[in-house]
């Protein structure tokens, strides 16, 4: 379970974005909107840009889900997506 010091409202994060970017360097920051989890701010400074794009791609996530449901070859998976 997330600790309270990692959970912040969207308005507070917006007003203090630099502070929360610094905090995200050591641990992900969970952003809420009207009390519901809405987003996560995490450090990507040491990540490869291509990895970030894949990680955040709905198309890629759908391909992973498809692959987990079906045992297909990588070539078939790439052909489909």
Q: What is the pTM of this model?
A: 0.64
Would you state the pLDDT for residue 77? 66
Under 8 Å between Cβ of 81 and 59: yes
Please, what are the domains in the chain? 1-43 (3.40.1620.10), 46-81 (no CATH)
Taking the C-alpha atoms of residue 39 and residue 43, their distance in angstroms, rounded to an integer, is 13
Q: Residue 4 has what pLDDT?
A: 66
Question: What's the half-sphere exposure (Cβ side, CA atoms, 13 Å) at 72?
Answer: 16
Q: Is the sign of the CA dihedral 50, 53, 59, 61 positive or negative?
A: positive
Q: What is the mean pLDDT of residues 30-37?
A: 96
pLDDT score recorded for residue 2: 53
């Amino acid at each position: 379970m997330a600790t309270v010091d990692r959970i912040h409202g969207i308005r507070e994060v917006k007003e203090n974005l630099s502070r929360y970017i610094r905090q995200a360097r050591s641990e992900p920051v969970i952003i809420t909107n009207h009390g519901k989890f809405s987003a996560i701010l995490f450090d990507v400074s040491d990540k490869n840009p291509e990895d970030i794009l894949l990680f955040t791609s709905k198309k890629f996530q759908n391909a992973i889900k498809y692959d987990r449901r079906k045992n297909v070859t990588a070539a078939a998976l790439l052909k489909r997506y």
